Chains A and B, each alone.
Chain A
């Protein structure tokens, strides 16, 4: 099944987990390559954490196998697996200092005192946290705790590092900073990272590949660009980015094709009102300097239903005359912020390059047989 010469760092085959009547994981097949930064993205309750816990060994699967480096570890305890976890709540030992926390795994492995000290220091330096060695976790900030948790897992040099929403508890600024740092760290240490998040932007910016979870199944696996540009289902289109779908009559009228299509909001341009300028003056709307549509572009007419001012960008919600609603994101170049609300109700024309309307396969509830081929590792 694996196309490359190297065995995958993590391979999941037909993985299932039920809690009583709840099927948290309903058949997951996945291969994660060595050294990959892999994100598991999905809404709350879609089974991401459960999959991660089965890889770590905290939760025995109801069915299926977990392979680490080609070895079947399904029945092994957590302490027998060469993976480490960074917990969502960090799970630092409250009675130990920062250094003792980091040294814990080394002590278990009976690493000598001098080497232990040196490696702990190195790990703490790699997460840019030194000088706090003798503090207890209670005396650290959220970001610092996060770094300790990271250092504690990295110091043992596992083959695979599992991270369950490690940035979830941090504020936006710190989260963005840690995203950059985590990515750099992963490149530096070359360890496979499996990263759970429900923040689509985080998943897209950080990872080499993304798996989008839906109801305990993987709806799509691919590079961030693939998942974003070519969503495999309306669910993926909606979860990874803004759901901007044309289907049925609207698709037929605008695109002249049957099916469901997704157009990303930033691919759409506003191209000037179709009616004479006199009308804009009557509603006292600010002038939108709009470029002309080119001939090879698809276009549709509609009316601005809502204007959302978001600083760097402005989002226009447009009700199309053909009977669909599209969101258009424009860089905040042409309008002055005070005026945008007055644009509500203005008729506009939208245009996008034909290839940006991507056909989205309608969701087929997969039978187990279909699923295997659909989610096979490329």
Chain B
């Protein structure tokens, strides 16, 4: 007995420090987890939560109207201004409306496209379709936005297609929604495609076998199973739209979104604290959205 354990110890040292370390880690699951999470946790705390904290703190500061210097005294005056002024409420609501519209449009387009890619197209073409969806992401955001500016110009191709100058949407809110929906569509298609890919074909067949037509199978089997993917996609499209201020400038005409106000306060008005206070609005909206998703229990089903 004794001899055997001595042998085992000898084997242990003979295996070298790396093997021994990994064996030790294997036995201490807690340490292993900590080591694994250290880097991402560091990143999350410093780069992300840190930046958020700075944002919230600076939102409580003000700017001296004469000198233009930041006054580092906590006060709620910025938030009071935002709450009191109708303009900010209108812009916030408009931004949420745009983000919601973009999300709905992208969902409606992404569902059939992803379904076709994952379940209808031959496996051999699937890869090419994924590439086709991904390729636009390689082109610069600005290039695509300006391309749409050309398309939507008065007397441009869209007008021409719809029957003459002035018949297209022109620049404005509609154009903003349209272009944002175009820009963020891949971010909705990809998670939905991944979700559908994981959905076994036999589930669709079982549903048809039990008597359900395509529509019912879609509503009762496909949709519930890919809800998490839809939520993942909607978080992308919603938050990306909510934070956007460039597309609006390019095709939005006089339309203003929260992003424009933040930008204006950083640049022209040079009121960083007020910009920070404005920037907390989309953050809060996203928090509310995520809490609502969690509360609905949509993510617990799988």
Residues of the A chain whose Cβ atoms lie less than 8 Å from the Cβ of B212? 79, 104, 108
Asked if A84 is at the interface of the complex by the 8 Å CB criterion, the answer is: yes
CB distance from B277 to the nearest CB of A (A): 42
B301 touching A84 by the CB < 8 A rule?
no
The range of chain B's interface size is 10 to 19
Residues of the A chain whose Cβ atoms lie less than 8 Å from the Cβ of B220? 104
CB distance from B210 to the nearest CB of A (A): 4
A105 touching B302 by the CB < 8 A rule?
no
Asked if B65 is at the interface of the complex by the 8 Å CB criterion, the answer is: no
Q: Name the one of A85, A108, A152 contacting B205, with C-beta atoms under 8 angstroms.
A: A85
CB distance from B66 to the nearest CB of A (A): 62
CB distance from A147 to the nearest CB of B (A): 15
Residues of the B chain whose Cβ atoms lie less than 8 Å from the Cβ of A191? none
A91 to B209, CA, bound (A): 11
A77 to B216, CA, bound (A): 14
A358 to B224, CA, bound (A): 58
CB distance from A172 to the nearest CB of B (A): 25
Within 8 A of A (CB), among B250-302: 301-302
Within 8 A of B (CB), among A44-84: 56-58, 77-79, 83-84
Given contacts A93-B221, A95-B301, contact A87 B211 (CB under 8 A): no
A151 to B12, CA, bound (A): 54
B211 touching A108 by the CB < 8 A rule?
yes
Asked if A109 is at the interface of the complex by the 8 Å CB criterion, the answer is: yes
B205 touching A87 by the CB < 8 A rule?
yes
B210 touching A58 by the CB < 8 A rule?
no
B211 touching A58 by the CB < 8 A rule?
no
* Least CB separation from B212: chain A residue: A108
Q: Name the one of B203, B209, B221, B225 contacting A79, with C-beta atoms under 8 angstroms.
A: B209
Asked if B93 is at the interface of the complex by the 8 Å CB criterion, the answer is: no
A13 to B179, CA, bound (A): 56
Within 8 A of B (CB), among A76-125: 77-79, 83-85, 87, 89, 91-95, 104-105, 108-109
* Least CB separation from A88: chain B residue: B202
Asked if A219 is at the interface of the complex by the 8 Å CB criterion, the answer is: no
Within 8 A of A (CB), among B201-232: 202-203, 205-213, 216, 220-221, 224-225
Within 8 A of B (CB), among A278-334: none
A85 to B225, CA, bound (A): 21
Residues of the B chain whose Cβ atoms lie less than 8 Å from the Cβ of A156? 210-211
Q: Name the one of B207, B211, B216, B302 contacting A94, with C-beta atoms under 8 angstroms.
A: B302
A95 touching B206 by the CB < 8 A rule?
no
Given contacts A91-B205, A95-B224, contact A105 B200 (CB under 8 A): no
A58 to B207, CA, bound (A): 11
Residues of the B chain whose Cβ atoms lie less than 8 Å from the Cβ of A152? 210
A93 to B221, CA, bound (A): 7
Residues of the B chain whose Cβ atoms lie less than 8 Å from the Cβ of A105? 210-211
Residues of the A chain whose Cβ atoms lie less than 8 Å from the Cβ of B301? 94-95
A85 touching B206 by the CB < 8 A rule?
yes
Binary contact readout B10-40 vs A (1 if CB under 8 angstroms, 0 otherwise): 0000000000000000000000000000000
A109 to B211, CA, bound (A): 7
A78 to B209, CA, bound (A): 5
A23 to B65, CA, bound (A): 84
Residues of the B chain whose Cβ atoms lie less than 8 Å from the Cβ of A85? 205-206, 209
CB distance from A214 to the nearest CB of B (A): 26
Residues of the B chain whose Cβ atoms lie less than 8 Å from the Cβ of A109? 211
CB distance from A103 to the nearest CB of B (A): 10
A91 touching B210 by the CB < 8 A rule?
no
CB distance from A11 to the nearest CB of B (A): 20
Residues of the A chain whose Cβ atoms lie less than 8 Å from the Cβ of B225? 93-95
A91 touching B216 by the CB < 8 A rule?
no
* Least CB separation from B211: chain A residue: A108
Residues of the B chain whose Cβ atoms lie less than 8 Å from the Cβ of A104? 207, 210, 212, 220
A109 to B216, CA, bound (A): 12
Residues of A within 8 A of B (CB): 56-58, 77-79, 83-85, 87, 89, 91-95, 104-105, 108-109, 152-153, 156
Q: List 13 A-B pairs, Cβ < 8 Å.
A: A56-B205, A56-B209, A58-B209, A78-B209, A79-B209, A79-B212, A85-B205, A93-B206, A95-B225, A95-B301, A109-B211, A152-B210, A153-B209
* Besides the known contacts A79-B210, A108-B216, 5 further A-B residue pairs in the complex with CB atoms under 8 A apart: A91-B205, A91-B206, A93-B221, A105-B211, A109-B211
